[in-house]
Structure 1
Amino acid sequence: MGRPGRGGADGPGGADGPRIQVALNGARGACDGTAVPVSPRALAESALGAVAAGAREVLVHPRTPCGRESLSPRVVGPVLEALRGAGVRVPLGVPVSVATESDPVGRLERVRSWTVLPERAVVRSAEPGARELASALLARGAAVDAVVRLGGPQASGGVGWEAAWAGAAAWAAGHAGRVRLVGEAAGAGQALEAALRWPPAVPWTLFGRDAAAWPVLRRAARYGAGVRIGVGDVLLLPDGRQARSNAELVAAAVREWGRAATATAGSR
């Protein structure tokens, strides 16, 4: 088994706390509850609250006024400007995937047309055209989060997560810290342990969704990885109560991280 606590340069927690990225909205909308920010103003207010609670990065899914996710510069730019204009001073990330634009060529064209860029962009490593898309983002000055699913089959070509994890880590190592490896874990069981047998020597983050979110966060604390939390991934607090805001989820993540990290240190 790999050694807990090993991580990349911007992956582990340290004296100033864990590196938490808040997933402001994800694929959720107003029908998912009042904790989900919808308008640009609500997104900005939610981001500010999450940062005050301990988030060090913000991930936002830009949407049109009718709620459809979009990579159009006329949608992405105003959302980023609204967050920055409200005083959000941490790095902003935007996902670029087939869920928003199914055509690989279309995704490339959208990215190349952006007039306002995020600090980071999320690219799923198994999707068609992922490497070309990531290269285009890097060329434009945006860092890249390369997402690999852990604990399940990859979406393309029948490639197992073991090979995808190793391949993405090797690719990330060649980009001098501008590519971060992100593991999306289906749970914190044996499959994740196998994936983390040798934690990557590059910046890396772990996250899970819904029932997997908190167990995976605790596992990330054990290994010193960065984490992601927010209503885009989970709507419940660790005790099962409904979260009232992204800030409440981030504050809970800080507490859970501290407990898990302390328990790990005590067991060494």
Structure 2
Amino acid sequence: MDPHLLRTFVAVAECGSFSAAATQLGYTQSAVSHHIAALETDLGTPLLHRRPVTPTPAGERLLEHAGPLLLRLDAARADVRRTVTAAPTTLALAASPLAAPSLVGLLAELRRTYPGTEISLTICSRAQVVAGVAAGTFTLATTDGIAAPSDPLRLSDTIHLRTTPLTHEALVVALPKHHPLARPTTPHPPNTLPDPRSGLSLGDLVDARWIDAPALAAPLPALRAAAGSDAIRPAFTYTGTDLRTLHTLIAAGHGLAVLPRSAVPQELAAIPLTSPHLVHRIELLHGHLSDPAAKALAAALSNDQ
């Protein structure tokens, strides 16, 4: 299967349009049509409905394979290039928003130790971090996610990146303080302060209003899998990376979110997530490192934990 044809197919499926995919890829529309026809001939089945442009059942199955296949090809190309190219003059770093502080805290010392190295830092989604490191766009990165206490993050089953666990902490349910679920579950004696609620399980929350904030909060697909329920659905979607905006949305009652304890300010209620037992984990990831500054940063991150 020609990877160029596969990339064209993914672009058309994502854009829902041959012309839009042609613009995105820098091809003519006729070239895109030829690529799709050639791929359908190769696989012996239609992959796209034409009006409207949507994947056929066979196309849906191919899309499931396409992302990991193309990522693996990009990773292989980048890994080979790293063995034959000189060390970069710019150290390209990346981080998902909640994993950025672990990286940023060491940059001042890195600049003092390697004054001739230019440093760039990109804050992006977890998926973009992994894809960027695999493709060689980023030399080194930190990313975050949720996992069982003894498990690593599931970054990708199709690429071989070096990963190092850095930190983990408890997860909490972030709610407005006036939310019914933030109130104590038992009465408190007179003249005493109520105890905070001891905890919540995902089973308590399947019908709650959720904010889907894929760059910041625990991903809803992961929570659905952990809860064994498809009822965890977004009532509000926030695609940004600013944590304070997410706090404001939660405080305004647009929905709740599962976050690491350190990411919830005092003006919100932070109720421990007691079941299932999951943690927020931060990991370092990179390919082969040849640049001394990159090696030093990776060592410092690993030793700082």
TM norm. shorter chain > 0.5? no
Q: Would you tell me which structure has more strand in proportion to its own residues?
A: 2
* Superposition TM-score, scaled by structure 1 size: 0.22
Higher radius of gyration, 1 or 2: 2
- Relative to the length of structure 2, the TM-score reads 0.20
Q: Which has the higher contact order (CA 8 A, sep 6+)?
A: 1
